[in-house]
């Protein structure tokens, strides 16, 4: 009786039942269809076709189709790149088409310790091509273009330790030469006019950075920053270097690369331990011990290491004291001495007490990034719209004529917030002289003053 009244619903029942069932099948199919599986099957096919004998073909046929991943706990990363790039560690795939290709030079950065994305960026957990390469919405760090790949080296290494990353070194050199830290802080050191640079490499795209260097106000309207005058190649290198400021918190194992054996660490030790008291480099330093410029040509690294550990064991009767260097320090110092053999020594030591006051002052000028506004060697020419001094930051070549030493020091310490306006109706010039009190040491200030006073060209007169 009642069943008859339900009969009109039977088609609905059938339809909805089929719909729900069908949808579950669709959901399951969609879930099972993953592009990495196709890549893995292609790889297995490739392996089978490469097998020379039929018996050997059985082996690749047994390769499972499954997610491959590198879990790097220390870096808090799970990189599933090898689910498609299955042959990164198989040299026989060198030069083949992606995704099946061989990754050269990974002996020093084993995959299981580093994974992939720490250098290449992208989205390690993703298993689709677009998402993994990070070219999707809501993923801020797409894969790094290969021309910028050396920036990744700078996450763990000091640029000066890296002969294998010439681009990074070039960028670092320009960064220092252009005086970026005159206005910007990096690792807590630097000026206050511009924003801090820590983490900027993670927040900005290479294109943004490059445009910014060429014409800052194009991407940051009203920016006070002067354009950086350098060749396109140099600016690319600078972009690459700045990209390395990712602000990432890497665990000790990785950042220790910055302190363990490298010529840079050796150089710092060399300065700290006062080696120049007895030894000389480039004619600078003491005469008690031998000059070290070419010591690496006379002795092999083992000898040098042994000498650092116990000088008398290598040179009986030497007066050099035993310093009790750690193994790492010993290696760093040795690396340093080795690096001297083919290093141009001019301006080598950053600020060494054995330099002349003027040379030290020049180093101070570089250290505080004065060149950022006043130009390399105080040449000036950096635009500062609406400032009375020809709408430029004044050059420093003629300070000796306008200031006494004490006035100049006071000027550096106090700075000048209010820059006289050319046209009182227009907005104030963006750049100003920050006060360096508390930042520059007294000795540094003396040296800097000596350097600035020395800039006055002989026989020339200021034209003001």
Site residues for another protein per CB under 8 A: 2-3, 5-6, 9, 12-13, 16-17, 19-20, 23-24, 26-28, 30-31, 67, 76, 78, 80, 123, 125-128, 131, 138-140, 195, 203
Beta strand ranges found along 247-405 (DSSP E): 280-281, 284-285
Token pair of 210, please? 């490059």
Going by C-alpha positions, the residue among 114, 111, 144, 142 that lies closest to residue 129 is: 142
Comparison of 32 and 231: residue with beta carbon closer to another protein: 32
What is the rounded (10 degree) CA torsion for 205, 207, 213, 215? -120
Q: How far is the CB of 433 from another protein (least distance, A)?
A: 25
C-alpha distances in angstroms, 202 versus 60, 198, 282, 417? Answer: 41, 9, 40, 32
Query: 221 or 317, CB closer to another protein?
Result: 221
Q: Compare residues 140 and 423 and give the one whose CB is closer to another protein.
A: 140
Please report how close the Cβ of residue 241 comes to another protein at its closest, in angstroms.
20
Q: Please report, for residues 41, 47, 53, 63, the alpha-carbon distance to residue 58 in angstroms, rounded to integers and kept in the order given.
A: 14, 10, 9, 9
Minimum CB–partner distance for residue 74 and another protein (Å): 14
* E strand map for 225-370: 280-281, 284-285
Shortest spacing between CB 81 and another protein, in angstroms: 12
* Smallest separation, CB 115 to another protein (Å): 14
Q: Which is nearer to another protein, 6 or 252 (CB)?
A: 6
Strand partners, 416: 433
Q: Smaller CB distance to another protein: residue 36 or 368?
A: 36
- Residue number with CB closer to another protein (12 or 464): 12
Residue 245 CB, nearest approach to another protein (Å): 15
DSSP bridge pairs for 387? 421
Nearer to another protein, 51 or 78 (CB): 78
Question: Which DSSP string do the residues of 71-132 spell out, in sequence order?
Answer: EEGGGTEEE-GGGT-TTTT-GGGTTPPTTS----S-SSS-HHHHTTHHHH-S-TT--SHHHH
Shortest gap between Cβ of 145 and another protein (angstroms)?
21
In sequence order, the 6+-apart residues with CB closer than 8 A to the CB of 120 are 81, 143, 144, 149, 152
What's the rounded Cα separation, in Å, for the pair 183 and 193? 5
């Amino acid at each position: 009786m009642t069943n008859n009244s339900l009969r009109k619903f039977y088609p609905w029942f059938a339809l909805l039942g089929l719909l729900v069932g069908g949808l579950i099948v669709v959901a399951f199919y969609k879930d099972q269809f993953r592009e990495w599986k196709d890549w893995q099957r292609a790889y297995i096919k490739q392996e089978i076709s490469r097998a020379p004998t039929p018996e050997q073909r059985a082996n690749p046929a047994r390769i499972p189709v499954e997610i491959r991943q590198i879990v790097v706990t220390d870096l808090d990363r799970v990189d599933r790149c090898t689910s498609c790039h299955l042959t990164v560690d198989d040299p026989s795939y060198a030069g083949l088409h992606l995704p099946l290709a061989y990754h050269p030079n990974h002996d020093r950065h084993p995959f299981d310790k580093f994974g992939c994305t720490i250098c290449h960026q992208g989205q390690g957990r993703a298993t689709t091509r677009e998402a993994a390469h990070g070219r999707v919405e809501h993923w801020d760090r797409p894969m790094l273009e290969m021309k910028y790949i050396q920036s990744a080296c700078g996450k763990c290494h000091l640029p000066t330790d890296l002969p294998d990353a010439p681009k990074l070194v070039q960028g670092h050199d320009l960064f220092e030469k252009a005086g970026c830290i005159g206005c910007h802080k990096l690792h807590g050191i630097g000026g206050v006019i511009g924003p801090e640079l820590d983490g900027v490499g993670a927040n900005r795209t290479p294109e943004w950075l490059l445009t910014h260097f060429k014409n800052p106000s194009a991407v940051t309207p009203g920016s006070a920053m002067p354009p950086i005058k350098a060749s396109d190649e140099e600016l690319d290198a600078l972009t690459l270097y700045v990209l390395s400021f990712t602000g990432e918190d890497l665990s000790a194992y990785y950042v220790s690369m910055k302190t363990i054996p490298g010529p840079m660490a050796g150089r710092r030790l060399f300065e700290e331990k006062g080696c120049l008291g007895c030894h000389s480099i480039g004619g600078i330093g003491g005469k008690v011990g031998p000059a070290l410029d070419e010591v690496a040509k006379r002795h092999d690294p083992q000898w040098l290491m042994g000498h650092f550990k116990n000088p008398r064991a290598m040179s009986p009767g030497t007066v050099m004291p035993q310093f009790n260097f750690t193994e790492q320090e010993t290696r760093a110092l040795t690396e340093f001495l080795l690096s001297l053999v083919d290093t141009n020594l001019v301006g080598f030591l950053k600020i060494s007490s054995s330099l002349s006051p003027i040379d030290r002052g020049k180093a101070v000028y570089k250290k505080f990034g004065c060149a950022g506004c006043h130009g390399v060697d105080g040449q000036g020419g950096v635009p500062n719209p609406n400032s009375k001094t020809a709408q430029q930051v004044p050059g420093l070549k003629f300070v000796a004529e306008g200031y006494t030493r004490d006035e100049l020091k006071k000027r550096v310490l106090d700075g000048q917030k209010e820059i006289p306006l050319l046209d009182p109706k227009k907005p104030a010039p963006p750049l100003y002289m920050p006060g360096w009190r508390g930042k520059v040491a007294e000795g540094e200030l003396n040296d800097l003053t000596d350097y600035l006073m020395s800039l006055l060209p002989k026989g020339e007169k200021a034209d003001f």
